[in-house]
Amino acid sequence: MRWADRLITRLPLDQLWSSDGPLPHARKRPLDREAIRRLLREECPVVVLTAGRPPEWFRGDAAFARWKEEISPRLAEGSSIVLDAFPNGFAFTAELWESPEGDRVIAFTMHH
């Protein structure tokens, strides 16, 4: 199977991948709104993880637009998620993933 066709079958992920193949990144820590904004200003790439879909990658203006329009109003912070408290009954959590070389990725996981 081509990496571009690979779907997320369970969450949380053990490994990130793109259409080019697996990435060396490891999950580091949860992110709050302030950390997300700072990383977006640094043009950190964003990946949206949704069960049943391939990872969706965004950079630059597209990453900021996705954050502002869809993810920010549905960002769940804390240890429990009450989906009914979010628009349309779904929410996102945010984590920082980092490669051994220090390349960072903001990973937003959809919960529905």
Q: According to the model, what pLDDT value does residue 80 have?
A: 77
User: For the chain, first and last CA: distance in Å?
Assistant: 27
pLDDT per residue as tens digits for the range 22-76:
999 999 999 999 999 999 999 999 999 999 999 999 999 999 999 999 999 999 9
Q: According to the model, what pLDDT value does residue 1 have?
A: 76
**Angstrom distances, CA of residue 111 to CA of 1, 23, 39, 48:** 26, 23, 22, 11
**Angstrom distances, CA of residue 97 to CA of 15, 18, 55, 77, 106:** 10, 14, 14, 17, 6
Q: According to the model, what pLDDT value does residue 102 have?
A: 96
- What does the domain layout of the chain look like in residue ranges? 3-111
Radius of gyration of the chain (CA): 13
Between CA 24 and CA 57 the distance in angstroms is: 16
For residue 54, the Cα-to-chain-centroid distance in whole angstroms is: 12
